[in-house]
Amino acid sequence: MSKKKTAETYSFAESLAMLSKLQKMAIDEGNINLALKAEELKCKIASLQAQKENNSETEDLTSILVDFINEEQNGKDTGDIFSASEEQKKV
């Protein structure tokens, strides 16, 4: 007996492929409600994947920016660094 895949083990591409297959089966059987549900689920997982990719890009950019700032500050005398409110006082 083979083990069934759980939701955690399906990749994004596998999930879309399975939903497309199920959607085609529903259409072939004339079940428009199931076909629409499959389309809805495909849109939802596509949205989740886009959010996941967007979050990972943001995290990568943030770590790069933090590393850059830290490298820049390590090479400079930090005595001249001040906040925006202190800058306004000097003007």
Distance CA 22, CA 34 (A): 8
Residue 29 lies in a domain: yes
Distance CA 81, CA 87 (A): 9
Q: What is the pLDDT of residues 33-71, one digit of tens each?
A: 999 999 999 999 898 888 888 877 666 667 777 777 777
Residues spanned by the domain of 35? 9-55
- pLDDT-based confidence at 10, cuts 50/70/90? confident
pLDDT greater at residue 15 or residue 75 = 15
- Distance of alpha carbon 34 from the chain centroid: 27
Residue 69 lies in a domain: no
Per DSSP, 75 falls in state T
- pLDDT recorded at residue 83: 45
Residues in Cβ contact with 15 at an 8 Å cutoff, skipping those fewer than 6 apart = 45
Q: Output Rg (C-alpha) for the chain, integer angstroms.
A: 25
Residue 38 lies in a domain: yes
Residue 28 lies in a domain: yes
Residue 42 lies in a domain: yes
Distance CA 40, CA 22 (A): 12
Q: What is the pLDDT of residues 15-32, one digit of tens each?
A: 899 999 999 999 999 999
